[in-house]
Amino acid sequence: MAVARPVRVLGLAAVMIWIFFIYSLFSPKAPIAHPKGKTPPSFEHDPMLDPTGEPEGILVRTSDKYAPDAENSARINATLLALVRNEELEGMLQAMRDLERTWNHKFNYPWTFFNDVPFNDEFKRRTQEVTKAKCNYELIPKEHWEVPSWINNDLFLESTKVLKQQGIQYADKISYHQMCRWNSGMFYKHPALANTQYYWRVEPKVHFFCDVDYDVFRYMQDNNKTYGFTINLYDAPKSIPQLWPTTLQFLAEHGNYLHKNNALDWLTDKTRRPEHNENANGYSTCHFWSNFEIGDMSFWRSKVYEDYFNHLDRAGGFFYERWGDAPVHSIALGLFEDKNRIHWFRDIGYQHIPFFNCPNSPKCKGCVTGRFTDGESFLYKEDCRPNWFKYVGQG
């Protein structure tokens, strides 16, 4: 029996719809372009879009006791800290102007600049011109900066070739490896910081967007905080493949160092980016982006951290791989510190290219609320804040 033409057309249409349905289910999906300034796809809801006020707890406001020349100053033993070269002057001035405008002109904490060569007169003159606070210019001791004697140079050169082939940025720059090692375990040993407890790390070319009206260092002290961050990212697993196994070796020998209220789940999560955990041999690669960090150097000076750093240092990974101070600091904090003493400064607007921390606050100008990056959409997957919020919270 012949089938009427309209019926045949309907049947063909149904087959085509079914084929399209099957293709839609199993075909690879193109990445979703994320609208800038809106909730990233990794969040059900980004808390940066919620109205942001000051943190809870004890807050100390500015007063005459914070004047640059105040007797019996209200300032505690803290400094703004920068590792910077003479040729980075313009970028340093831009960062200083931002932080002076938004915060330090109210509190006048000193600036301490570090370099592995002496600062020139222009650097000293122009940095001092943008602040009423005291500026200190320090030379890093050679023994803190030079490549350790136990590093095999031939092995280092071969290792950097492999890292470079794998696309690891700065792998062949010896100064970058030295910088990572210094920031990880040397900076707080400098004689100029012997009587300093708290620091706020500032790098050239970073931006600050929000007025902060309380003494951040006093907040850390009065509210029992060890470390503060703004941005929380995934690292490149191929730059640190032996960092976690080397850490586990240390834990096997010093199990008593593990804090009862640790953030181990955050460090070892494998649900969100399992390929990172696999390639980093058990480490999620989540870390606090340490170009911004506000910290209590008592933690770095502790026997626990000193033992851990020395273990890593002797393993050679600062040179044979590209162990950065960000994952090293983050792993140490996640294992050996009470996670409740780590604070997310959600109210401090900040940018280090290409990532932002931009709160929903009338105190902020110059950044887009909730924007995580102004780069390509694939960069949103580098955001590890959802894991921090999941395992620790938003405090």
What pLDDT shows up at residue 43? 60
CB 386 within 8 A of CB 44: no
pTM above 0.85, yes or no: yes
CB 345 within 8 A of CB 228: yes
What pLDDT shows up at residue 395? 83
For the chain, the distance separating the N- and C-terminal CA atoms, rounded to the nearest angstrom, is 74
What pLDDT shows up at residue 81? 98
Residue 2 pLDDT > 70, yes or no? Answer: no
CB 169 within 8 A of CB 113: no
Report the greatest alpha carbon distance in the chain.
Answer: 106
pLDDT in tens, 292-310: 999 999 999 999 999 999 9
Q: Which amino acid is at 79?
A: T
Angle between helices 325-336 and 303-315 (to 10 degrees): 140
CA distance 236 to 148: 25
What pLDDT shows up at residue 24? 38
Q: Say whether 129 is catalytic.
A: no
Interval 266-290 mean pLDDT: 98
pLDDT in tens, 5-51: 543 444 544 445 444 433 333 333 333 334 444 444 556 688 999 99
CA distance 92 to 87: 10
Which residue from 292, 274, 304, 301 is spatially nearest to 387, judged by alpha carbons?
A: 274
- pLDDT category, 1, cuts 50, 70, 90? very low
Q: How far is CA 361 from the centre of its chain?
A: 22
What pLDDT shows up at residue 3? 44
**Token pair in block for residue 256:** 């008593």
**Token pair in block for residue 243:** 């960092």
Interval 94-112 mean pLDDT: 98
pLDDT in tens, 334-363: 999 999 999 999 999 999 999 999 999 999
Q: Give the DSSP letter of residue 61.
A: -
Residue 56 pLDDT > 90, yes or no? Answer: yes
Angle between helices 303-315 and 243-253 (to 10 degrees): 130
Find the catalytic residue in 54, 129, 203, 293: 293
What pLDDT shows up at residue 12? 47
pLDDT in tens, 379-391: 999 999 999 999 9
Whole-number average pLDDT of the chain: 91
pLDDT in tens, 321-335: 999 999 999 999 999
CB atoms within 10 A of CB 102: 23
CB atoms within 10 A of CB 356: 24
Strands 227-229 and 342-344: parallel
Angle between helices 89-99 and 121-129 (to 10 degrees): 20
CB 285 within 8 A of CB 157: no
Residue 371 pLDDT > 50, yes or no? Answer: yes
CB 218 within 8 A of CB 197: no
